[in-house]
């Protein structure tokens, strides 16, 4: 079955707070990131494309940074806490450019979609709530009344927090809405749709041409279990990677478009995790770890959620990042 993408529209709200860079500085850095892509090398030379630079989605205030085609090694060699599902090193060549959100999708951005469409997630409809991180042996606890609107039992959560408590199907609705809106407005590049990134696209952008598999200075770039206070933080408070992407490690795990499974090894082109034969056990890829991750490898570039069965998606540690990708993969 060919891999299907769905379009989506996202936005990035201005980041406020004493520890955050002023919005004008954040905005300037995001816009500069498009130029930086041409200066940052990877294992193969970038391919020219007719659509240049970053894309800023009107009304959503979300910047998507262009990522040029190239080749990288996907996965992590054994050691330093890596898990077996990361160890089949695979050389992946991506032949088409794509755009990826500079930040995770925020509550404010999701709210625009929900208000425009009347969309409601399952925790909102049933009132059963979503799974909050509580740590210890339980790890998660379902807290009635919580949802993306109220992820932490607070009356007015910060609108610049990454949205959480949305599952993979919810993200597809968001993407379809954005694709339709941007196509109707004549702003959609020819042959492209809004989607989640594939796992390969996500890891390529996270490694950003550096070849790194682990982060030497995680406190500078990530909210993790050692510095987060075990709670979400507004996006873009930490340093971006060299291609301009914020919070790819930590804060919230991020949904990917394709299916979880073993890496193929050797060399592949435009890799997409294939649909498993047994869909009753199938899970989607989730990458990046969250504010709750502890241990030597939880701030690594290659960390996968893995085969754990806690995958209904309605979790306070799980959100997503928007991509603009070539249709048909």
pLDDT, position 168: 94
Own/partner long-range contacts of 81-85 (Cβ < 8 Å, ≥24 apart) = 81/295, 81/296, 81/297, 81/298, 81/300, 82/213, 82/297, 82/300, 82/302, 83/297, 83/303, 83/304, 83/306, 85/262, 85/263, 85/304, 85/306, 85/307
For residue 218, report the phi and psi dihedrals to the nearest 5 degrees.
Answer: -60, -30
Instruction: Compute the distance between CA of residue 253 and CA of residue 61 in angstroms, rounded to an integer.
Output: 22
**What end-to-end distance do the CA atoms of the chain give, in Å?**
10
Asked if 294 and 227 touch (Cβ cutoff 8 Å), the reply is: no
pLDDT, position 329: 59
In this structure, the chain runs to a length of 329
Q: How many Cβ atoms are within 10 Å of 239's Cβ, its own excluded? A: 15
Instruction: Compute the distance between CA of residue 45 and CA of residue 63 in angstroms, rounded to an integer.
Output: 24
pLDDT, position 155: 63
Mean pLDDT, each 10-residue run in order, the chain (329 residues): 35 35 43 37 36 90 97 96 94 98 98 98 95 87 93 80 95 98 96 98 98 95 95 96 97 96 96 91 92 89 79 87 91
Question: Shortest CA distance to 168 belongs to which of 192, 147, 149, 195?
Answer: 195
pLDDT, position 152: 76
pLDDT, position 242: 97
pLDDT, position 185: 97
pLDDT, position 306: 78
Residues paired with residue 139 on neighbouring β-strands, in sequence order: 135
Tell me which residue has tokens 């309605």.
314
pLDDT, position 166: 96
What does the CA dihedral 230, 232, 234, 237 come to, rounded to 10 degrees? 30
């Amino acid at each position: 079955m060919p891999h299907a993408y769905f379009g989506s529209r996202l936005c990035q709200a201005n980041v406020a707070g004493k520890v955050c860079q002023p919005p004008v500085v954040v905005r300037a850095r995001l816009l500069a990131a498009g130029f930086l892509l041409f200066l940052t090398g990877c294992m193969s030379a970038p391919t020219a494309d007719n659509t240049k630079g970053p894309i800023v989605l009107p009304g959503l205030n979300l910047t998507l940074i262009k990522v040029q085609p190239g080749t990288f090694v996907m996965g992590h060699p054994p050691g330093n806490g890596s898990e077996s599902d990361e160890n089949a090193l695979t050389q992946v060549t991506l032949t088409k450019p794509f755009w990826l959100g500079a930040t995770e999708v925020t509550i404010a951005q999701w709210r625009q979609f929900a208000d425009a469409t009347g969309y409601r997630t399952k925790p909102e409809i049933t009132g059963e709530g979503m799974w909050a991180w509580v740590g210890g042996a339980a790890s998660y606890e379902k807290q009635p009344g919580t949802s993306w609107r109220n992820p932490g039992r607070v009356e007015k959560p910060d609108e610049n927090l990454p949205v959480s408590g949305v599952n993979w199907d919810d993200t597809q609705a968001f993407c379809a809405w954005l694709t339709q809106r941007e196509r109707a407005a004549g702003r959609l590049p020819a042959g492209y749709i809004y989607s989640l990134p594939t796992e390969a696209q996500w890891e390529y952008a996270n490694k950003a041409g550096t070849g790194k598999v682990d982060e030497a200075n995680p406190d500078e770039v990530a909210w993790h279990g050692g510095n987060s206070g075990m709670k979400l933080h507004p996006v873009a408070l930490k340093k971006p990677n060299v291609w301009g992407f914020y919070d790819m490690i930590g804060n919230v795990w991020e949904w990917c478009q394709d299916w979880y499974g073993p890496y193929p090894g050797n060399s592949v082109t435009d890799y997409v995790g294939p649909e498993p034969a047994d869909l009753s056990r199938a899970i989607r890829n989730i990458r990046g770890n969250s504010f709750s991750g502890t241990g030597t490898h939880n701030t690594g570039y290659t960390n996968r959620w893995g085969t754990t069965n806690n995958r209904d998606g309605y979790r306070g540690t799980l959100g997503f990042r928007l991509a603009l990708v070539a249709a048909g993969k």
